[in-house]
Amino acid sequence: MIGNDGKRQVALITGTSMGLGLALGRFLAARGFDLIVTGRDRARLADAAGQMLGLGGGVTAVSGDVADEDQRRRLAEAVAGYGRLDLLVNNASTLGPLPMQAMADYALAGLRQVFEVNTIAPLALIQALRPYLAAAEGLVINLSSDAAVGGYEGWGGYGASKAALDLLSLTLANELREEGISVVSVDPGDMRTAMHQDAFPGEDISDRPLPEVTLPFWAWLLGQEPAQISGQRLQAQAELWQVAA
């Protein structure tokens, strides 16, 4: 995808080796983005990067855990190599300890790790990449969940981390607006992914749609003026993508 300056746009997607991250990476590659992708499994990430590379622009794969400060430094170095960042998608997430635990019994060490991956890491990446996002008047997409507002039994740790991410997104949208950085949170809806299966061990989740069901939403989102949607919480599978205030 070519920016207003005539140069190819660059996107960084976390958690890109499978599921929604892979689907979104393939979608952006086909639209001509240069991509920086990351995931914890080196072999799986390499396979995913190969799929994206065959669809469009360049792909830089940086394997590792986004909760690791050194990994975030490597990602920032990859962005510096391109010299710009138009789109940051904080997709990497963890459910936390499995089987999923009630909040009254939740292991606090596990809860800290959930927040490290789902809330702290996205904020840390935004902070580290802020100059590149500002220069490109870029868009940050933080992946949320209906668990952030549902209060579902067993989902409290994950849901709390996503609720915090929603508030973080709105606050950053307000704080960074003058710098030209836009921030939204997106609830992608239930999907047939490995993580969703982990949440329902032994259950048949074949009735859930594949992540590609969200592609019309992403096409719409990238067609919006980022500043006009900044601060919104969006729903990729809802009848109305924009949530009424």
Distance CA 220, CA 196 (A): 25
Strand stretches in 56-195, DSSP E: 59-61, 87-90, 139-143, 182-187
Q: Is 93 a catalytic residue?
A: no
Distance CA 82, CA 136 (A): 12
Three-state DSSP at 208 gives coil
Q: Which amino acid is at 210?
A: L
Choice among 145, 161, 182, 185 that is catalytic:
145
Distance CA 113, CA 94 (A): 9
Helix locations, 13-99, DSSP H: 19-30, 42-53, 69-82
Q: Is 169 a catalytic residue?
A: no
Which residues make Cβ contacts (< 8 Å) with residue 28, sequence separation at least 6? 1, 11, 13, 35, 52, 56, 87
**What's the N-to-C CA distance of the chain in angstroms?**
31
Q: Is 185 a catalytic residue?
A: no
Choice among 63, 93, 132, 162 that is catalytic:
162
Choice among 63, 144, 161, 169 that is catalytic:
144
Three-state DSSP at 20 gives helix
Choice among 93, 132, 158, 169 that is catalytic:
158
* 159 φ/ψ angles, rounded to the nearest 5 degrees: -60, -40
Q: What is residue 241's DSSP assignment?
A: S
Q: Is 158 a catalytic residue?
A: yes
* Residues belonging to the active site: 144-145, 158, 162
